[in-house]
Structures are given as structure tokens and as C-alpha cells.
């Protein structure tokens, strides 16, 4: 019987703290909504220089042809731990 009362008191306390938290969050939302300090800042748009796309990308197949895979045979993977 004593255990049931203790569990009931714990449940009531948790419910009251949950309601308090909800009221706190609502208060903070209302405060931010009605008393927000909005700062108006003039933003100048800069003319950014145009970047010329004069580079060419090679196809993936061409990149794979240039790779020398013979060095991978002597690779010691213990060095990378």
C-alpha cells in the first residue's frame, strides 16, 4: 500500500513539472513573438566577379587509365592504423 502511494506521488510530481515546462515554453514563445528585437540591417549586394569556366574535366574512364596500380602490391596497410 505504501509503494502504491509513493508511485502515485511520483506520477503527480512528474505531471506537475511537465505542465510547468509546457507553460514555460509557451511563455518563451509568446515573449519572442511579441517582444522580439528585430534589427533592420541594410545589406549591400556586391557585384561578384564572374568566374570563367575555362577548365575542362576529364572523364572518369580517362582518369582510371592514368593510374599506376602496380604500387598497390607493395602497400603496407599496417602503417595506416
Average pLDDT for 52-65 = 59
The Cα–Cα gap between 51 and 46 comes to: 15
16: nearest Cα among 5, 6, 8? 8
In the chain, which ranges are E strands?
A: none
Higher-confidence residue of 41 and 24: namely: 24
Identify the band that residue 74 occupies on the pLDDT scale cut at 50, 70 and 90.
confident
Average pLDDT for 45-57 = 64
Residue 25 has pLDDT above 80, yes or no: yes
pLDDT of residue 72: 72
The Cα–Cα gap between 47 and 69 comes to: 47
Average pLDDT for 34-46 = 70
28: nearest Cα among 17, 37, 19, 36? 36
Does pTM surpass 0.85?
no
Amino acid at each position: 500500500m505504501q509503494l502504491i502511494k509513493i508511485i502515485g506521488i511520483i506520477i503527480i510530481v512528474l505531471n506537475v513539472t511537465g505542465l510547468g515546462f509546457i507553460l514555460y515554453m509557451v511563455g518563451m514563445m509568446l515573449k519572442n513573438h511579441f517582444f522580439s528585437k528585430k534589427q533592420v540591417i541594410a545589406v549591400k549586394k556586391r557585384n561578384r566577379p564572374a568566374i570563367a569556366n575555362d577548365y575542362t574535366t576529364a572523364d572518369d574512364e580517362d582518369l582510371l587509365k592514368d593510374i599506376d596500380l602496380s604500387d598497390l602490391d607493395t602497400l603496407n596497410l599496417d602503417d595506416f592504423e
